[in-house]
Amino acid sequence: MLNTTEFLVGLFILLSAAVLVGELMTRLGQAALVGQLLVGIIFGPTLLGQYVGLATTNDAIAGIQFLATFFILVMAGLEVSPEEIWHTGFASGLLGLAVFLGPFLLGAVLVPFIYPGLPFLTSLFIALTLSITALPVMGVMLSEFRMGKTQMGVLLMNTAVINELVAVTVFAILLRLYSSGGGQDAVATGIAVGSVALFVTTVLAVHMGLRWLRESRIWYSIQRSFRSTWKSKEVGFAVLMIMSLGAALYSQYLGLTFLVGAFYAGLLITPESAGRREHRSIEQVFGAMTWGFFIPLFFAFVGLQMNLRLLLTTPWTLAAFGILVTFAILSKFLVGAFVGRFLGWEARDARTIGFLVSSRGAVELAMAVVLLQNGVFTPQLYTIVAGVGLVTTALAPIFAVTWGRVPTGRGPAVAPRWLAGVVEAGHPVGEKSPKIA
């Protein structure tokens, strides 16, 4: 039976500590999620869990964590729009695909050597989590470095958009394969790919329908009628939640995870489809709930479920963790820097690109939580994956400042002349100044 007092006390402690330590980390030049994860680790089984009891799992905590995961994926989708993906440009598309596929394929080879007895699909899941470049964390770092409106900043944000979109889609295929019994034959793979293709096709069809309405006078008539008829407060937010829940149910029905439905539902809510004023209102309401409550608690819960003591069970366990951290940083850095040089950036600018794309974040950890809940990850593997995300996210801005080039009084990095027009055609993310953890 739920003890209401204990539950509220636990939420009070976690939320207060996560917000305060997250704010401290931002003042130290880190992403807030680093501090929020540390709060969970401190109160979890790693340190104080046996004394304070916050790590005890119950239905209420599990429900809040589920909602937090759902909100985070909708939020990630809201940061993207199909038009922005289409106009992202050659440079961002190439870099986004390269910094995902390179680490993913290399990780698929490396992980089985580190964990020889691990099922192949589990190895692929680990490789996938090591391959994600965090769109939210990227936004925070570029904002801190005042690079959001520079050509490099726009290139990096578009890169993170492509990377995250591909990662979520691949995750859906792998999880569909796992839910079908882990089969790796052509039939199982075909069903998994077909399920994802059907879902994405449905989303694109809805998007194209909304786009057709936007380009006709019918849409403006519908908007005016809607505004004059619906008097309920924040009805736009309610519509967003209905669409997101519907998409999540549809993805679950197809044997995919609700994460995919929540993420792609966010893509459908754009300033063009909802109206700029309404879209801004939806973002404000959604942002207040997500940033003020769900995100700090989500990362604290992630930390609570980590047990760093499990890394010390054998010398090889700790060594394997070190190998994965090194691989996670080097694979992203080398691929990102190489593609940066290929695109014509100077060596130091290319190193900056390589370091900044090595950060992880909310989507990776949301995947890890789902994989833990579905029994794909053991507590030890979950701790390793979350720990890699924590370390790489903390080190990315430090390396970028130390060995890369960020604005330091000499002015922002300037893109190669041939590339400038391509980059500027992309998504001007810097204007949004996202404050994502």
Report pLDDT digits (tens) over 322-375.
Answer: 999 999 999 999 999 999 888 888 888 888 888 888 887 777 888 888 888 888
Q: Is residue 419 part of a domain?
A: yes
Tell me: pLDDT of 418 over 60. no
> pTM above the 0.85 mark?
no
pLDDT given at position 434: 37
pLDDT given at position 175: 84
Q: Worst-scoring range by mean pLDDT, 186-200, 213-227, 303-317, 386-400?
A: 213-227
Q: Is residue 1 part of a domain?
A: no
pLDDT given at position 151: 76
Q: Worst-scoring range by mean pLDDT, 136-140, 249-253, 255-259?
A: 136-140
Tell me: pLDDT of 13 over 60. yes
Q: Is residue 342 part of a domain?
A: yes
- Out of 101-110, 133-142, 250-259, 352-361, give the one with best mean pLDDT: 101-110
Q: Is residue 5 part of a domain?
A: no
58-84 pLDDT, tens digit per residue, is 667 777 878 887 887 787 777 666 666
pLDDT given at position 261: 81
Segment 236-243 mean pLDDT: 76
pLDDT given at position 395: 82
CATH of the domain at 417: 1.20.1530.20
pLDDT given at position 412: 40
Tell me: pLDDT of 120 over 80. yes
Structural domain of 387? 10-309+317-432
- Say how many domains are in the chain: 1
Q: Worst-scoring range by mean pLDDT, 229-233, 313-317, 330-334, 369-373?
A: 229-233
pLDDT given at position 126: 93
Quickly state the pLDDT bin for 405 (edges 50, 70, 90). Answer: low
Contact between residue 308 and residue 41 where contact means Cβ atoms under 8 Å apart = yes
Q: Distance (Å, rounded) from C-alpha 391 to C-alpha 172?
A: 26
- Tokens representing 255 are 């044997």
pLDDT given at position 417: 45
pLDDT given at position 229: 65
Q: Is residue 90 part of a domain?
A: yes
Segment 16-34 mean pLDDT: 83
- Out of 29-33, 86-90, 241-245, give the one with best mean pLDDT: 241-245
Q: Is residue 3 part of a domain?
A: no
Q: Distance (Å, rounded) from C-alpha 150 to C-alpha 144?
A: 13
Quickly state the pLDDT bin for 53 (edges 50, 70, 90). Answer: low
Q: Is residue 4 part of a domain?
A: no
Quickly state the pLDDT bin for 411 (edges 50, 70, 90). Answer: very low
Quickly state the pLDDT bin for 321 (edges 50, 70, 90). Answer: very high
pLDDT given at position 368: 87
pLDDT given at position 109: 92
294-312 pLDDT, tens digit per residue, is 888 888 888 888 888 888 8
233 vs 180: which has the higher pLDDT: 180
pLDDT given at position 224: 65
Q: Is residue 352 part of a domain?
A: yes
Tell me: pLDDT of 256 over 80. no
180-215 pLDDT, tens digit per residue, is 765 556 777 787 788 888 888 888 788 777 777 766
Segment 260-280 mean pLDDT: 71
Instruction: Compute the mean pLDDT over every residue in the chain, rounded to the nearest whole number.
Output: 77
